Structure 1
Amino acid sequence: MLYAVTHPEATHHVEGRVGGWFDSALTSRGRADATAIAKRLRELIPRTSRIELYSSDLLRTAETAEPIANVFAVEPVFLPGLREKSYGVAGGRPQSWLDARFVPPPAIGERLDHDEGIEGAETKRQWVERVYGAMAQVAESGSEHQVIVTHGGSLSWVIAAWLGLPVSACAHVSFRSRPGGITVLEEDGYFHNRTLHTLGDTSHLTAQS
């Protein structure tokens, strides 16, 4: 089983700033939600099971991983490949600044290598391949239960990589989760088929918005 967690509310959310690689921290609400996430994972994962915990190395995901690590008494492995998309010079700027300059991809045509018009930003292909690389590291583990702490955008590529979708499929693929959501991915022990069991569950969060 793989449990993919999207970090809860961070300062860039409430300040209306571009996230990406901008190293924002969790808000007080986000920290409370991180504790609730850890508690819910403890309910989902059998106590006799060994887990491995992987996280993006940005502050908001590291802060989300901390209570999970404490509950399961494990050390998180920080993988920069699990970071959110880099928005280059837009990172940390007001969202309105990015919105005024962003060039959306075409509905049909080149989407993976599309230039969004932001200096230093990753293309979708670069972003996807980076997350796929991190997931290849996770796949080397033999642990029965794995927890990944990542970002709302990168969650799509965590899921796609785990399901074995080719990078080309990510031109249109999107899996959405609210901040603090828990996504459960399951592989059966007989056919070894993989299923997206639960997408972005937030029922464990006390303050819904």
Structure 2
Amino acid sequence: MRTLYVVTHPEATHHVENVVGGWHDSRLTPRGERAAEAIARALRAQIPDDVEPELFSSDLRRTHQTADAVAAAFGVKPVLDRRLREKSYGVAGGRPQEWLDRRFVPPPAVGERMAHDEGVSGAETKLDLAQRVYEAMDEILGRPHEHQIIVTHGGTLTFVVAHWLKVPIDSADYLNFRTASGSITTLREDDFFHNRQLTSLGDVRHLEA
């Protein structure tokens, strides 16, 4: 049985400042730091004591901080991977959210959605994001380890889950798995049928406690 625990980083400064995240290198707020500790405790309670999980994280500061809290709970070192970053919003990163909202061109209801240009200079397309996340996931799942933790971002999570479920990139144009900040999503593959399960999506009970 392989189990993946996918963590979305908790509250960061760009959330409370109402600026665009993306590759803007915001850090956890004090509330986010407390949530990161709660995430670490929740994972420690779910993973057997005799198991040393593999830990992967986006290299942005807010995810790195979250991964550090998890790493301390297990005595492991996170592997930082820029391919697990949030979608880049180009020149909008770090600007007020309203600045992006005035310029953003939403994807069409029907037609080209993955390579759609959202109207912001330097921004990644949905296809750009999907391709780099799928590449990272190929490497992570190529490692024969029963328990793996991935610390990433809300937008990136959709393609982590899509890859896990073996959804081809060109069929992922309408997918959006929405989760709260600081959530844990659990994915499992059984050893007999090798079926892949989305066991829980966006669990936040550890934050409520």
TM-score of the pair, normalised by structure 1: 0.97
Identity %: 58
SS at match of 2:155: coil
- 1:25-36 mapped onto 2 (5 Å cutoff): 25-36=27-38
Segment of structure 1 superposing worse, 132-141 or 114-123: 132-141
Q: Do 1:36 and 1:205's aligned partners in 2 also have CA atoms closer than 8 Å?
A: yes
Runs (5+) with no aligned partner, structure 2 = none
Segment of structure 1 superposing worse, 40-49 or 29-38: 40-49
- Is 1:106 the counterpart of 2:108? The answer is yes
Shift of 1:169: 1.7
Shift of 1:188: 1.1
Instruction: For 2:172 and 2:128, locate their aligned partners in 1 and report how far apart those are by CA, in whole Å.
Output: 11
Instruction: For 2:142 and 2:30, locate their aligned partners in 1 and report how far apart those are by CA, in whole Å.
Output: 35
Instruction: Give the structure 2 partner of residue 202 of structure 1.
Output: 204
Instruction: For 2:99 and 2:110, locate their aligned partners in 1 and report how far apart those are by CA, in whole Å.
Output: 26
2:180 aligns with one of 178, 181, 186: 178
Shift of 1:141: 1.3
Instruction: For 1:148 and 1:168, locate their aligned partners in 2 and report how far apart those are by CA, in whole Å.
Output: 24
Shift of 1:206: 3.9
SS at match of 1:171: coil
Amino acid at match of 2:73: V
Instruction: For 2:105 and 2:208, locate their aligned partners in 1 and report how far apart those are by CA, in whole Å.
Output: 37
Deviation string for 1:85-136 (max 9, x for gaps)? 0000000000000000000000100001111000000011011101111111
Instruction: Give the structure 1 partner of residue 190 of structure 2.
Output: 188
Instruction: For 1:37 and 1:156, locate their aligned partners in 2 and report how far apart those are by CA, in whole Å.
Output: 20
Instruction: For 1:181 and 1:170, locate their aligned partners in 2 and report how far apart those are by CA, in whole Å.
Output: 22
CA RMSD of aligned residues (A): 0.8
Shift of 1:193: 0.2
Shift of 1:67: 1.1
Shift of 1:50: 2.7
- 1:49-68 mapped onto 2 (5 Å cutoff): 49-68=51-70
Instruction: For 2:123 and 2:105, locate their aligned partners in 1 and report how far apart those are by CA, in whole Å.
Output: 12
Instruction: For 1:9 and 1:131, locate their aligned partners in 2 and report how far apart those are by CA, in whole Å.
Output: 22
Aligned residues: 207
Shift of 1:172: 0.3
Instruction: For 1:48 and 1:141, locate their aligned partners in 2 and report how far apart those are by CA, in whole Å.
Output: 19
Q: Which runs of 4+ in 1 moved over 6 A?
A: none
Instruction: For 1:13 and 1:137, locate their aligned partners in 2 and report how far apart those are by CA, in whole Å.
Output: 31
1:90 aligns with one of 85, 92, 97: 92
Instruction: Give the structure 2 partner of residue 42 of structure 1.
Output: 44
TM-score of the pair, normalised by structure 2: 0.97
Q: Do 1:50 and 1:143's aligned partners in 2 also have CA atoms closer than 8 Å?
A: no
Q: Do 1:50 and 1:144's aligned partners in 2 also have CA atoms closer than 8 Å?
A: no
Runs (5+) with no aligned partner, structure 1 = none
Instruction: For 1:32 and 1:141, locate their aligned partners in 2 and report how far apart those are by CA, in whole Å.
Output: 31
Q: Do 2:52 and 2:76's aligned partners in 1 also have CA atoms closer than 8 Å?
A: no
Instruction: Give the structure 2 partner of residue 142 of structure 1.
Output: 144
Amino acid at match of 1:199: L
Amino acid at match of 1:7: H
Segment of structure 1 superposing worse, 162-171 or 79-88: 162-171
Instruction: For 2:39 and 2:52, locate their aligned partners in 1 and report how far apart those are by CA, in whole Å.
Output: 18
Instruction: Give the structure 2 partner of residue 79 of structure 1.
Output: 81
Instruction: For 2:196 and 2:52, locate their aligned partners in 1 and report how far apart those are by CA, in whole Å.
Output: 20
Deviation string for 1:70-95 (max 9, x for gaps)? 11111100010000000000000000
